[in-house]
Structure 1
């Protein structure tokens, strides 16, 4: 059985129960992280996080593990749904809101001393003549236009500075994970052909297959093992740990050499 790190005490009971069930399924199927990556399409590093309790596995990963181990996915998916809610709630509580920066009060400027009156000695400069009555409206209109232009320009500059200072949201590109090619679908159509059992998948071939093989020959053997009352897991055409265990059990029951390889004698016994 694999050795796992102790789960964090912050995990919700439903999250802890989901991780422990996934660990048991992996151990019962004698699956390594590389087997999980090959059969489910999720990397070995991802499964280390899922089974370590540091990352919540996707719903599809839970379904894939249940499929390859022959387990019922319904209770696992129910636990996953509850665990997903508690996982999101805990992450929301851990978000720390930034504290507003305290504004330091600027010291009030000291009042400037009033200028002392100056006594002019000698002849004084005559006061400037007042503008002519006809020119005053034009001067006021020009001053108003200039003030309006300055205000508009200041507003535009302020908007440009705010746009430059605003933090730009970084667009994170989704990880380019290679889509796992879907496994071919096989169905068992057990029948007797010329006095021999056949699943109708590999056209009656009896080629030798060993652990790690894939394809129609493996699916044919899985169907015949299931007909013999020994479960090889799913009918997926992959000669994995569960199929290997079923082959050895069948060979031992049939009095054959228990080597885990499907050769001519094992095929003959399977086909009856």
Structure 2
């Protein structure tokens, strides 16, 4: 099973919980992204963006994924509604995915450039598939520039302004194509660890935290989070995970690490704890497991 990429640092906790459950459902179904695309109304690239947190997943996509995987969608819809309310409260980000228009030159356009503009204006795209064609358009632009340069007659003087504009546009096209390629789907390459990374609210990914568990108001607390309901599963991160790791150690089921990353060791410790307390042994920390951990 390919390893999932880390979710973007700016992903909210509620959105993170929804994506963790959708990823888990997809993994258990053994369906590839291409298989999901063939069985739903969303393309493979759309599913890749949704499940990697690059774009908010629509409600209908949540329902279709549940249907295809043969599970009751109620729980997922509840998580979706919570994430949707959180998105509504957050400030609207700028549309960074819109390609900026290249600066217009004061020089008259060449026939090759006019032809390129006509092709771009006549090309109709749907929102979900527009990003898939960005790299193709970049390659077409580069080819058009190369053809225009090659067709110039020997000895013909090319205005300096045109030459500089062509070079700048070619560099911009090549850079944009490289960025899009780097952001593509990579099932085999694991995420590189480059030291502690800020992930909001003071949590640093890659840093180890100390546990200081004490009883307060009749329940155990490690001072990292006071949640009793947050769902934690593989690839969950943050202080909620640190809290769970510390409480597991306090209960005698230490995961060995206290870094806020819900990995296989933490899940294994959670399973042993659940089995000892006669809970559902799935390794997912939810309300029932939190109640026993804080008891």
Whether TM exceeds 0.5 here: the answer is: no
User: With structure 1 as the length reference, what TM-score do the two structures score?
Assistant: 0.34
Computing the radius of gyration from Cα coordinates, the structure with the larger value is: 1
